[in-house]
Structure 1
Amino acid sequence: MIKDILKKYKHKMKYCVNLFLKSILKIRTGRISPNILNEIYIDYYGVKTLISKISNILVKDSNTLKINAFDNSLNKLIEKSIIKSNLGLNPIIVNNSIIVPIPSLTQERRQELLKLTKQESEKYKILIRNLRRDVNNLIKKKLKNKIISENEEKLFQKKNQNFTDFYIDEINNNFLKKEKEIMSL
């Protein structure tokens, strides 16, 4: 019973790490990537749709993305969505494509991106710690109701702490990788 609870919460902690990885993918590093546009939506005939689902996003050169919408009538909507995204990008419609020039990162912008990445890592570490707290409360409840012994309680809390430490370390390691990417020239 407790093992099932631990297993369930272990999966939730792993899911938090995956969400963290997904969230930092859109944070730009020194290398240009179509991933920075992954979380931008448009209103596509009344349905909120990702730009990546209705177009091809290509790396044109080291500082430019090129978007080819499957329906050229959507170019204006895509352009407006990119501008509203607060990514600091100014797309230009050229013929039937959208060109998105990506400015080089200044040291100041790198610091801002690093701060944003740090905030994301802290947010997901807090989620993992909250999961740990929930499990510990469930374990204490089982002890109080005499479903488990004190020795079992200590054992399960130790396992829970080990899971927590492992997934917090995962987030820290991925944060350090991202930090290195952001700060490299």
Structure 2
Amino acid sequence: MFPSTAFHPGGFTLIELMVTLSVLAILAAAAIPNFSSFLHHSRMTSESSRLSSDIETARSEAARRNATVSLCPTADGTSCTDDWSKRRIIFVDAGNDGQIGAGDEVIRNSDAPTARTSITASNIPSGTVVRFRSFGTSTPPNAAWQFCESGSSSDGLMVSLTGSGRASARQVPCNAS
């Protein structure tokens, strides 16, 4: 006898495979914009949270040590710059001059923000240093940093510093650059 022609192997037909792949492609096309938005928001939240953490560390160290503690961006780890897209350094400012001197103790060197992150500081008269006094207040009292993603018009985040030295973040519009 001949084997039965009704035997079906456990595979898919070409039509079933094409329909499944089409459905997956449609779902992926719908998910990609949401995923891009999620990644953008995650990057901005991460970067702004790192600055907020640096601010809180500087503030608490000033109170703990009963001394002035400064926070500034640095390119080389030994001097302050006005480019807040560089890594940041927190140090005990023994000379109270806003510069890292021989007698100043470095508390933390942060990692540099990602290259795609644009950080614009405002309300910092010197452009470089934020100081925290031993009772927690900051100079300047109303500093702010805007975090945007280069080349993106999606909203970014603004970290604002109050006179009491506390940081808060809020969503702000960004312009593509």
Q: TM-score, normalised by structure 2?
A: 0.32
Q: Which structure shows the bigger proportion of residues in strand conformation?
A: 2
Q: TM-score, normalised by structure 1?
A: 0.30
